[in-house]
Amino acid sequence: MYQQKTGKVAVPEGKKIIVHIGFDFDSSSVWMESFGKTSPVYTSRGEYGAIVGVPRVLDLMDKYNFKGTFFVPGHTADTFPEVCQEIVRRGHEIGHHGYMHEDPTDLPYDEEEAIMVKGLEALDRIGVKPVGYRSPGFDFSPNTVEILEKYGIKYDSSLMGNDYYPYCPAPCTIHFDRANEFGEPAKLVEMPVSWFLVDFPHSEFIMTRTGMKPQSQIFEIWKTHFDYGIAHTQNGMMAVCTHPQVIGRPHNITMLEEFINYILERGACIMPLKDIYERVSF
């Protein structure tokens, strides 16, 4: 019988839950690679994230005195090195996020490993050696965990097998004619995420996949997830994933500040994922 290897988080005394507010700084790579859009209209949306979005979120974090994690594709680090260096200068964590926001799901081992190395090299050029990873598009291949562990990655934040508790993902062999089979849990620690806690699908216009929901709907989802965690869990966490080109828009950055005030007033503390990882025990 499969049992998930689930951990607990040491929440600071006087607090009820640790919340991570993070940023996938995809810039133009998400449009170029994930959506195949290279026109100036699409790449300018990525530029907005670098030139307008990142400074706004950095100033907001300074205002409330907390640190976050930015998952940065190597292409973003190469295109906007000064912006990425400012993130580091202000004391925030940078994690690995592919090189060109590549979906690893169907990649052969050698190609996925080459992307891992290329992303590491780009981050090294801005002085970063990441301990965390987030897969572009929240997707894995059967080889992803092995590659992450090979290159010294300590935690991932891409999978959705839990909501408030870190866990060690177990490899799953898929069968269509009988039960799936699970292997031994990895050493890698998973910081679970959910599409419900991501700004991009709710807010962005993507051709026929129109988001463009009012920010009040996003706030309501995040608030309810937080409230449930406060009421029903102990020693847990919550990971919110945003994108500077999305959350940096005036209506969304205003909503994010409202959410920050809401959770801080109700017993949350906010940390980067590397600090949460150091508080996990099994």
pLDDT digits (tens, 9 = 90+) for 55-90: 999 999 999 999 999 999 999 999 999 999 999 999
Tokens 């998952």 belong to 71
**Domain carrying residue 48:** 5-281
- CATH code at position 181: 3.20.20.370
Claim: this prediction has a pTM higher than 0.75 = yes
Tokens 């690995």 belong to 96
- Lookup: tokens for 14: 């006087």
- Lookup: tokens for 195: 């599409």
Domain count, the chain: 1
Handedness of CA 27, 89, 56, 165 (dihedral sign): positive
**Residue in 109, 168, 161 with CA at minimum distance from that of residue 138:** 161
Alpha-carbon distance of 231 to 150, in angstroms, equals 39
- Lookup: tokens for 169: 């993902």
- Lookup: tokens for 13: 């005394």
pLDDT digits (tens, 9 = 90+) for 171-184: 999 999 999 999 99
- Lookup: tokens for 29: 């790579």
Q: Check pLDDT > 90 for residue 2.
A: no
- Strands 5-6 and 8-9, bridge-based pairing: unpaired
pLDDT digits (tens, 9 = 90+) for 185-222: 999 999 999 999 999 999 988 776 668 899 999 999 99
pLDDT digits (tens, 9 = 90+) for 221-273: 999 999 999 999 999 999 999 999 999 999 999 999 999 999 999 999 999 99
* Secondary structure class of 94 (helix, strand, coil): strand
- Lookup: tokens for 179: 């039960």
Question: Which residues are bridge partners to 53 per DSSP?
Answer: none
pLDDT digits (tens, 9 = 90+) for 132-146: 999 999 999 999 999
